[in-house]
Amino acid sequence: MKITRRKMIKSSLLTLGAAALVPSLSANEKHVYEVGAWMSSLSDFERAKNIGLDVIQVSFPLRPNGAEYDFRSPEARAKYLDKSAQTGVRIEAFAMGEFNEKPFWAQDDTIEQVSACIDAMKAMNVKYVLISYFGSGDPKTDDEWDEIIRRYKILAPKAEDAGAVLTIEAPWNAEGHHRVVDAVNSPAVQVFYDPGNMVNIFGDTDWICNDIRKLKGLIKACHIKDDNIIGKGKIDYRKVLDTYREIGFFGPQIVEGSVVGELGWEESMRQNIAYIKSV
């Protein structure tokens, strides 16, 4: 049987993913999660390093906009990679948040723009890109769901070849995520989970943990947020992190929000990091 390059890469993605699920720990140890934040400026690398962040997530504009983080430009890529090397803060993921108001399934140039992101991911060795479906981006009809699936099927082979993963962040329960991911059937289309979104849409911590269990093997990246400092809000993140460990997800916890006004961003982030590292 002829083994194509794409099949070899697909197999490698699955193998690497499986290996990442089994950290080397003694019987009494718990995996300590890396912590990140969504930051986009070059100057943010130093801020991230100074407060103890391990990784960052960086915006990727839907279309060329001339911003310093428009990674369609080789010059922009080089600057960010240099800063990452200097500070030791890794770029874990991109985020295409503009799809919230400019739906993935409706834009004429979606495939072109996500394809450009995949090129940048390959050039910069960025593992994941968040593709969002909130607000106007949430599909309401079967035709819109089918169009999402159709577009991912076009993009998935290129993402597989690049070693990139397109991750879905959406206001959907596990069944909604499975509807898309199972239909596409590619390791390059997976889930970006955010308990802070889920608690506001569906239910409490126990509901979230059950939903996470239903997504075992599909969650590749995540946000962590609450209406207060992590650990002091309405989500019991000790239970959530233990559930991630239970299903074998050990990716970084990327903080979004969770800033208390009187504390300010830096002190809030220090407290968030301390809590996440402690549980």
CATH number of the domain residue 88 falls in:
3.20.20.150
> Does some domain include residue 23?
no
Q: What is the pLDDT at residue 29?
A: 75
> Does some domain include residue 11?
no
Q: What is the pLDDT at residue 10?
A: 59
Per-residue pLDDT for 23 more than 80? no
Number of domains in the chain: 1
Q: What is the pLDDT at residue 18?
A: 47
> Does some domain include residue 162?
yes
Per-residue pLDDT for 206 more than 80? yes
> Does some domain include residue 188?
yes
pTM of the model: 0.91
Find the mean pLDDT for residues 5-12. 54
> Does some domain include residue 14?
no
What are the tens digits of pLDDT across the range 118-172?
999 999 999 999 999 999 999 999 999 999 999 999 999 999 999 999 999 999 9
Domain of 45, in residue numbers:
32-278
Q: What is the pLDDT at residue 1?
A: 44
Q: Considering the chain, what percentage of its residues have pLDDT values greater than 70? A: 90
Pairwise CA distance, residues 161 & 153, whole Å: 13
Residue 129: both structure tokens together: 């890109």
Find the mean pLDDT for residues 201-209. 96
> Does some domain include residue 26?
no
